[in-house]
Structure 1
Amino acid sequence: MTALLSLLLLGLLLATVAPGRLARARWPEREPVLALLAWQSLVVAVLLCCLLSLLLACAAALPALREAVFAGAPSGMEEAYGLAGAEGWGRLTAALLALGALQTAVALTREVRAARALRGAQQAHLDDRAPELPAELTAGNRSGAERRTGERLVVLENVRPEAWSLPGPEARLVVTTGALQQLTDRELAAVLSHERSHVRARHHWLAQCAEALATGFPGVGVFSAFRDQVGELVELAADDRAARRHGRLTTALALVEINAGRGVFGSCPPHHLAQAPRRVDRLLAGRPRLTVLHRLRLTLAALVAPAGVVLVALAPALAAVL
C-alpha cells in the first residue's frame, strides 16, 4: 500500500503547494507559453496521481483485477505493492476516486457540449449578419492563407471597434467596421494576428478543460487557479505572437484602440477586462525573453511533476526487479 499512499500524498502536495508558488512566480509574464506548459504539467500530474491511485485501489479491492494487472509480472512484484489483504481500504479509496473520475467526465462533457452549442449559436448569428457568398464567387478573392488554414475573415457592421475569433472546423476571424475605420493597417494586422494565434494554438480547448475542472471541483484550488491563469496566459501568448510580427508598440496601440470604448482604462474597469491595461504596460515595457538555458531549465522542471508521479507509481516494481 506504500505506492498508493505515496501517490495520494503526492497528489495532495501538488494540488495545494505547487499552484501558489507557480502563481506567485514572476517569470510567466515573460514566457507565457512556457507558463502554460508548466500549468498543464501540474494539472496532468495531479490527475495522474488520481488515476494511478484509482488503478491501485481497484487492484487492492478486487483480487481478480489484481491478478490481471500483475499477470506475467516477475516474482515478488505483486508483494512489493502490498495490495493483498487491503480490500476494505481499497474499496473505500476506489469508490471516492471513481466518483471523482465520473465527476470529471461529466463536467468535461457538459463543458464541451455547452461550448459547441455556444459556437453554433454564434456561427448562426454571423451567418445571418454576414452570409458567405457562393464558393465560385469567393474562390478568387480569398487569400492563400485563408485557403490553407480554413480561416475566414468576417466583417460586421458595427460602429464599435471590436475583433474576436470563433474557432471551429472553419475558423472565423471577426472584425467590425468600426475597427476597420479606427485602426491603421498595421494595427489591424496585429489584431488579426492575435486572434489567429488563439485559433491555431487551440486555446479554446485548453480553456474548456480548465473550466470543466474548475466547475466540476469548485473546492480544489489547483483547478480554479489553472482556469484563472489560462485565461490570462493565453492572452499574453497571443499578444507576444502579434508583437513579434508587427511590433510591440503597434500591438499595444491596437489593444488600446480596441478596448478604449469599454471603460477598461478607467478607475473601475470591469473585472473580466481589467487585465487589458496590464497587457498594454507589458507590451510597452518590452522586457526581453529569458535566456535559452533558463527556458530549458524551466521546461525540464515543468516535466518533473508528471514524470515524478510515474516514478512513484513504478518504484515498488523497480525495487522488486532490481
Structure 2
Amino acid sequence: MSAIWVWLVTGLALGGVSPALLRVLVRRGIHPHILLLAWLTLLSATVVQIALPGLGDVMHRCWLVLHNGQPDRLDGIGGALSAAMLLTAFVRAGWALRRSAAARRALRDRHLGLARILGGARRDQGVLWLPVAEPVAYSVPGHPPLVVASTGLRAVLDADALAGVLAHERAHLARRHHMLVAAADAAAAGFWWLPLMRASPALVRTLVELDADAHAARLHGAGGLRRALQTLRPAPVAAPALGITSECTELRLARLAAQAPGDTVSAMAALGVVASLLSAVSITVLLAVTVLASCAT
C-alpha cells in the first residue's frame, strides 16, 4: 500500500475510533477543558491526514512531470478521493458557518430590540434582565456579548445559586464556547459520514457546559450551582444561545458533586497534556511529509 493510501486510511480510522476514546475520557472524569483540547487536536489530526493524500498526489505528479515519470493510477485515485472529500467538506462546513453567524447576529439584534420595546428590560452589571416570570438564563454571543436572565430567575434562586448561574453564562462568553459549538456543527456538516465529526455537536455541547460549570464553581462554589440545576427545568433557547439547563444535567450534577470547593485543574498537568497532543500532531504531519517526499524520490 502506498503512502497516500496509508495516510488516507489512517485519517479515516482516526475519525472512526476517536468518539469512543473521548467518551471513555468523559466517563473517567477528565477535566472538560482538557477534553475540548483533545477534541480539537483529534479533529485537526483527522482533517490533516485526510488532506495529505490529495496534497501529496499533486506534489508527486509535479515531480513526475519534471522528471518524465509516470504517475501511479492507484495513488491518483487516492488523491482524487481525498480532494473530493475535502472540497465537499469545506463547501458544506462553510455554508454551516455562514448560517450560524447569521443566526447569532439575528438573535442578538432580536434581544436588543426586545430590550428597547420592553421598558422593564434593563442592563445590570453586563446582564440583560427581562421582565419574564419563567426562570431562564442564557448567553448570546456578539459585539458586545449578552448574558440574558429573567426576573423570574431571581425569584426562585438564592444569592449564591444566582451568582453561580450568571458566572456560568459569563464563562460561556469569555471562553468562546459558542465558537466551539459552531465549529463542531460545521465539522458535522462537512464530514457528516465520519463518526468523530457526526458526534462532535453533542459532545462539544456537553463539554462546554461542564467547562462553564467548573469555572463557575471555582468562583462561587459548587453548591449554589447544583441547587440552581436541581431547581430549574430545562427551557428551550434559540440555537446560537447557550442556556443554563441542558440535556446533560445529571452528568453536570455528578461532576459538581465530585468537585471539591476551590478545586482547580493542575496547570502543569493540563500543559503537559496539551503539549503531548500537539507534539503527536506535529510528529504525524512531519512523518507524512517525510514519507511522501521519500516516495517522490
Interval containing the TM-score (normalised by the shorter chain): 0.7 to 0.9
- 1:62-93 CA-to-partner distances (Å, cap 9, x unmatched) read 458x76xxxxxxxxxx9xxxx95325334322
The CA deviation string for residues 122-149 of structure 1, in whole angstroms up to 9 with x for no partner, is: 223212321299xxxx9xx875xxxxxx
Is 1:312 aligned with 2:297? no
The one of 189, 205, 214 equivalent to 2:179 is 205
1:174 aligns with 148
Higher mean displacement: 43-52 or 210-219:
210-219
Superposed CA deviations along residues 255-300 of structure 1, whole A, max 9, x for unmatched, are 223x33659xxxxxxxx93311221122123266676665455334
Contact 1:31 1:289 in 2 (8 A): no
1:188 aligns with 2:173: no
TM-score normalised by length of structure 2: 0.82
Q: Decide whether aligned partners of structure 1 residues 122 and 316 sit closer, same or farther in structure 2, where only a CA change above 3 A counts.
A: closer
CA RMSD of aligned residues (A): 3.2
CA distance in 2, matches of 1:123, 1:91: 48
Deviates more, 1:171-180 or 1:97-106: 97-106
| Match 1:298 to one of 259, 269, 273 | 273
**Cα deviation code 1:34-57 (max 9, x no counterpart):** 011111101100111122222101
Note if contact 1:214-1:224 (Cα within 8 Å) is conserved in structure 2: yes
The counterpart of 1:280, out of the listed 231, 253, 262, is 253
Describe the SS at the equivalent of 2:148.
Answer: strand
Moved more, 286-295 or 305-314: 286-295
Greater C-alpha Rg: 1
Indicate conservation of the 8 Å contact 1:3/1:315, yes or no: no
Task: Indicate if the aligned counterparts of 2:165 and 2:228 stay in contact, CA closer than 8 A.
Answer: yes
1:123 aligns with 2:108: yes
Equivalences, count:
282
**1:94 paired to 2:79:** yes
Q: Specify the SS of the correspondent of 1:260.
A: coil
- Identity across the alignment (%): 29
Q: Secondary structure at the match of 1:25?
A: helix
- What is the one-letter code of the residue matched to 2:35? A
Which residue pairs with 1:235 in the alignment?
Answer: 209
Higher relative contact order (CA 8 A, sep 6+): 1
1:126–1:99 CA distance, 2 compared to 1 (3 A): same
1:1-322 residue pairs with structure 2 within 5 A? 2-26=2-26, 29-63=29-63, 84-131=69-116, 152-257=126-231, 259-260=232-233, 273-286=246-259, 295-316=270-291
Unaligned 5+ runs, structure 1:
68-77, 144-151, 264-271
Rounded to whole Å, the distance in 2 between the matches of 1:93 and 1:131 is: 57
**Post-superposition CA distance 1:175-198 (Å, at most 9, x none):** 011112222222222111111111
Inter-partner Cα distance in structure 2 for 1:119 and 1:291: 34
* Residues 1:188 and 1:221: Cα distance change in structure 2 (over 3 Å): same
Matched AA of 1:173 = V
Tell me the secondary structure at the aligned position of residue 219 of structure 1: coil
User: 1:311–1:129: structure 2 CA closer, same or farther, 3 Å change rule?
Assistant: same
Q: Per-residue deviation at 1:9?
A: 3.1
Q: How many Å separate the matches in 1 of 2:21 and 2:234?
A: 36
**Does the C-alpha gap of structure 1 residues 318 and 52 become closer, same or farther in structure 2, counting only changes over 3 Å?**
closer
